Amino acid sequence: MAISTTPKALVYITPVEGKYSGNQYKAQFNPKELQVDKTVSWTPKDAVTDDPTMEFKEPQSRQLTCTLYFDSFEQGGTTYDDVAKFENLAKLDDTIKHPPLCIFTWGTFNFKGVISALSSKHTMFSSEGKSLRCEVALTMQSASKATVSAPSKPSSS
């Protein structure tokens, strides 16, 4: 049996707008699973039975969730800088006034959307308190573009 020497496809997140546009941020290790959910918005109409007529309300975007892994134990560094790059994609970008629209790529799988949640759990530390291992829980909402809602005008009395 031949052993493949082709490198495994890694996860990349690429912002497509704003000050980080075009940069590729690579996860150090691939997720062990990837979940994509789609919710459909239905509401019971005139519910008087256990099987009411359902009324479609509005389309909902898909949601991608996965956990990305970072490990700097062997290199003797820290995971803070790698994780900060992903955190920047969930922060307000002052050039576009919202977090950027991004493309999540893993091999041939692409998911275009915005980061709606990002949570980092540091799981191993050096004796100096540096983070050596980190798990980043990522949630994205699919989107074709991202905009900023107009600020509401104060009502005049």
Q: Looking at the chain, how many residues does it have?
A: 157
- What is the Cα 149 distance to its own chain's centre? 21
Rounded average pLDDT over 12-29: 93
Query: Distance between CA 84 and CA 141 in Å, rounded?
Result: 20
**CB 102, CB 23: distance < 8 Å:** no
User: What percent of the chain has a predicted confidence (pLDDT) above 90?
Assistant: 59
The answer for residues whose C-beta is within 8 angstroms of residue 130's C-beta and 6 or more apart is 77, 78, 80
pLDDT tens per residue, range 25-72:
998 888 999 999 999 988 888 778 888 888 898 889 999 999 999 998
Query: Distance between CA 51 and CA 54 in Å, rounded?
Result: 9
Query: Distance between CA 96 and CA 109 in Å, rounded?
Result: 27
Q: Which CATH architecture has domain 11-39+58-142?
A: Beta Barrel (2.40)
* Boundaries of every domain in the chain: 11-39+58-142
Query: Distance between CA 42 and CA 57 in Å, rounded?
Result: 6
pTM listed for this prediction: 0.82
pLDDT of 124 over the 80 cut: yes
